[in-house]
Structure 1
Amino acid sequence: MNRSAMASLVRESVDGDMAALRAVREGRTAVFREVYERHQASVRAYALTCTTSPALAAKLVSEAFAKLGERVASPHPLDRGRHAGCVRLQLLESTRLAAVADALRHPHAFSSGFMAWIASGSVWPMHDDGQLQVAYEGLTPLEQCLLWHALVERDDMTALAGVTGLTGRDLRARLATADRGLRRSRMELYLERVDSEDCIKILSEGAGLPYATPSPEVTAHLAACPRCRALYEDLVRLDARAARHLPLRLLGWWPAEEYRRNKDAAAPAAPRERERPVRTAPVPRPAGAGRRRHREAGPVRKAVMWLRGTSHRTTVFVAVTVTVATALTGTLAMRWMESSDPAPCGQGGQDPGTTASPKAGPPLASRLRVNADEYSAQEGAEGSRSGYRHARSLSGGDQLRYDQVDFGKEGDGRLVTRVSNGGESGARLEFRLDCADSEPWALVTVPADGEQEDVTAEVQAVQGRHTVFITAVCDARRVCGDLHWFGTVVR
């Protein structure tokens, strides 16, 4: 590889994650944006292995970076502590911790695999003896970071340079040192448990394994000793083994293939190679043909030529382009919002009451569950008589309205509703979309035993944002029950 090609792999001037965090601690807070842009796509890919909700994944990403910001703002040294030196690992661990905490409150918003892992006790896999993890954690923080990104994340040299701040030969030298160090630590840990003097003598003399070709004496010993032969084979395949087992030992939850698919989906598409036109021999001009007439440039062409004239004009050109793109994006967003408005209701479909919600705010996400007290308007409902914090007690004919409930792009086929304190048989809640007088979208029966219960109903999957009307139906004018929350899950 020539020098110019080598230079294209690694950026010439890179600070790296730890240098950026130190700069943030010193007051250059804008540098934190670089760290965010370097890692946010991967952190979101990991969050999406935990939850089925893109909105909740975005929330987990925000919490992970907020945790990193708290660590930077604290007086504790940045190069000490768990996963010191590897920002990606710190962020992934924070994401997993936040996901576990949220899953205990909103189980229906998380993937079945993640919930099964939690139900099993969030147990780390114990099929490995732990020697690999010990060998890895015996390396320097920089070497651990290099191996994580090279073996597990499969990052290229450009990404490694951005994360570590190393460039060119320094980067390759430290990566080779980390690789040898992991294998050497693995062998030393093995030798600590070996009682045979022959094994210790042979393997100590073969310190170059597995890079160097084994001597005839070492080869004979490996053929006669199954344990040493297994170690040698482990050293040969240590890259693949580390990529498979390290995330399980360090994070616990690690669906490798799903994480990789999510990362690939978030990666920018590679530019398509332009086809080069086939050159043909020049066609001689006919005798007597004059010079080609210069075509007068139009006003748009003149403006573009002027903007591209100097580096300063190029800056102006970029600024104008960004401004126009922003305006177009705003226009498209407004049109999308207009097209997402619910259809106008007919006679009798007016909004119930005018009581403002105590928590009026941004759109509500159905997969994150909608608490009963997050209503936009209500008629007749009151606070829970049993003292439940977010619940509303509903009597016959009471109605709640929830504006801008986001059902996502895919749409879910099940509605889950938590209800309690049902006092009579046959009490139910009727869910309608967009209009208070439309046909019910879902019917939820309130249990008459008074206990809390999560009632599941099969519904027609809907996408986008809708207004949700909930009407209580009882045989008598008394409390039908308490509504705690509702949300949707994948069928």
Structure 2
Amino acid sequence: MSRTFLSRPPKHVCSDITALAAVQRGQVGAFQLIHERHYPAVHAYATECLADVEAVGGLSTRVFRRVLATRLKGGVVIGVRHPGCLRRELLDGVRSGAVAHAAYDVAALAPGFRDWVAKGAAWPMEDGSQLARAFERLPRSAQILLWHGVVEQEDPRLIARITGRREAAVVASTQQAMELLRGIRLGLHAERMGRPECREALAGLGAALDCAAVSGIAAHGRDCQWCREAGEDLADLDGRLGSHLPAWQLGWWPGPRYLRVKAVSRALVDVPSYVCEFPELSAAWVPNRPRGRGLLSRRKPGDTGGYA
């Protein structure tokens, strides 16, 4: 199998990781890139946590401001739970902030989120746990591709900017990451099988899951519940990844509603006003800056001005 998704990004592309490093050096344009790429998602997730429009805006701002302040101090923005994935870390911050908001203003919570908090804001204990175990065994680069490509269903152009890879390679790289996940998931299923005939049936599947292999596991699965469940899991791994993994990673996941709101949200193309609170920021930046165009000039949403 090709290892495209592990390859180094082109030098001219500014990934999230590269941009975060530039933020630490006080380069405001790098933070603007991060804000443009992730604001629609952060705002959409906050909208599914809080019902009050003003509270949504305030929470979204606090999450980004915390990233900026932390990086300027040399702190770590992306923790061990979400290795390399800034988006998940941002959404994690939104959820934590919304839970804190519930302590003094429950009425401001969105209905679904309010119900989740009322039930103890509990993570799923079983549903998705085995899938999460397989996901966490993936290389960091493969995890990021699957999160943005399969879970968040984002445009390959945006995924290319976030990951720092060429747009033409995004779809193939995401497919390769899914094949790797399927292979890991298959191995985990095989570990649980006690009977030789079960292990043999699963070994016949392979990561590609061709039609003959699926038919074989289906025939064996008529008499074996474990193998039947394993075959169903592997056949629908894409769908399960999108529906089960997010709740395991984030606790609260509104599913399709979040995706719909995100799709109609727009990134703010101007530098957020609160950056003025950080005198250490500089407007002088970064790779491939177009001549004759100011860093802070207004741009259309999605246009990175040559920085990514």
**Shared fold per TM-score greater than 0.5:** yes
Q: CA deviation at 1:129?
A: 5.3
Q: CA deviation digits over 1:333-354, x for unaligned, max 9?
A: xxxxxxxxxxxxxxxxxxxxxx
- SS of the residue corresponding to residue 30 of structure 1 reads helix
Q: Which residue of 1 aligns with 2:99?
A: 100
Q: Which residue of 1 aligns with 2:22?
A: 23
CA contact 2:102–2:108 (8 Å) conserved in 1: yes
CA contact 2:26–2:72 (8 Å) conserved in 1: no
Q: Distance in 2 between matches of 1:156 and 1:251?
A: 22
Instruction: Within 5 Å, give how 1:76-91 maps onto structure 2.
Output: 81-91=80-90
Instruction: Within 5 Å, give how 1:343-382 maps onto structure 2.
Output: none
CA contact 2:78–2:86 (8 Å) conserved in 1: no
CA contact 1:12–1:167 (8 Å) conserved in 2: no
Q: CA deviation at 1:219?
A: 6.0
CA 1:221 to 1:108, structure 2 compared with 1: closer, same or farther past 3 Å? closer
CA contact 2:179–2:208 (8 Å) conserved in 1: no
Instruction: Within 5 Å, give how 1:298-317 maps onto structure 2.
Output: none
Q: CA deviation digits over 1:45-96, x for unaligned, max 9?
A: 1101111111111111112113323443455666761212111110000000
CA contact 1:199–1:228 (8 Å) conserved in 2: yes
Instruction: Within 5 Å, give how 1:169-184 maps onto structure 2.
Output: 169-184=168-183
Instruction: Within 5 Å, give how 1:245-394 maps onto structure 2.
Output: 245-267=244-266
Q: Distance in 2 between matches of 1:208 and 1:57?
A: 42
Q: Distance in 2 between matches of 1:99 and 1:78?
A: 19
In structure 2, what residue type is equivalent to 1:54? V
Q: Which residue of 2 aligns with 1:131?
A: 130
Quick check: 130-139 or 208-217, which moved more?
208-217
Q: Which residue of 2 aligns with 1:49?
A: 48
In structure 2, what residue type is equivalent to 1:183? R
Q: Which residue of 1 aligns with 2:202?
A: 203
Q: Distance in 2 between matches of 1:79 and 1:118?
A: 25
Structure in which a larger fraction of residues adopt helix: 2
Q: CA deviation digits over 1:267-302, x for unaligned, max 9?
A: 49xxxxxxxxxxxxxxxxxxxxxxxxxxxxxxxxxx
Q: Distance in 1 between matches of 2:118 and 2:78?
A: 34
Q: CA deviation digits over 1:195-237, x for unaligned, max 9?
A: 1111112322432341464288656434543321321221111
Q: Which residue of 2 aligns with 1:62?
A: 61
- SS of the residue corresponding to residue 209 of structure 2 reads coil
Q: Distance in 2 between matches of 1:217 and 1:262?
A: 42
Q: Distance in 1 between matches of 2:13 and 2:188?
A: 36
RMSD: 3.0
CA contact 1:50–1:111 (8 Å) conserved in 2: yes
CA 1:212 to 1:66, structure 2 compared with 1: closer, same or farther past 3 Å? farther
Q: Distance in 1 between matches of 2:190 and 2:39?
A: 41
Q: Distance in 2 between matches of 1:90 and 1:130?
A: 19
Instruction: Please identify runs of 4+ aligned residues in structure 1 that moved more than 6 A.
Output: none
CA 1:252 to 1:144, structure 2 compared with 1: closer, same or farther past 3 Å? same
Q: CA deviation at 1:260?
A: 2.2
Q: Distance in 1 between matches of 2:214 and 2:114?
A: 51
Q: Distance in 2 between matches of 1:29 and 1:55?
A: 26
Q: Which residue of 1 aligns with 2:143?
A: 144
Q: Distance in 1 between matches of 2:246 and 2:214?
A: 35
Percent of aligned positions with the same letter in both sequences?
33
CA 1:168 to 1:96, structure 2 compared with 1: closer, same or farther past 3 Å? closer
Please say which structure displays the higher CA radius of gyration.
Answer: 1
Q: CA deviation at 1:128?
A: 1.1
Name stretches of at least 5 consecutive residues in structure 2 with no aligned partner. 1-9, 268-290, 299-308
Quick check: 213-222 or 53-62, which moved more?
213-222
Structure in which a larger fraction of residues adopt strand: 1
Q: Which residue of 1 aligns with 2:303?
A: none
CA contact 2:16–2:86 (8 Å) conserved in 1: yes
In structure 2, what residue type is equivalent to 1:114? F
Q: CA deviation at 1:176?
A: 2.2
**Alignment TM-score, normalising by the size of structure 1:** 0.49
Q: Distance in 2 between matches of 1:129 and 1:262?
A: 24
Q: CA deviation at 1:127?
A: 5.2
CA contact 2:16–2:163 (8 Å) conserved in 1: yes
Quick check: 108-117 or 43-52, which moved more?
108-117
Matched, 1:228 2:206: no
CA contact 1:209–1:232 (8 Å) conserved in 2: no
CA 1:45 to 1:223, structure 2 compared with 1: closer, same or farther past 3 Å? same
In structure 2, what residue type is equivalent to 1:116? D
CA contact 2:78–2:89 (8 Å) conserved in 1: no
Q: Distance in 2 between matches of 1:182 and 1:212?
A: 19
Q: CA deviation digits over 1:419-439, x for unaligned, max 9?
A: xxxxxxxxxxxxxxxxxxxxx
Q: Distance in 1 between matches of 2:168 and 2:64?
A: 32
Matched, 1:158 2:157: yes
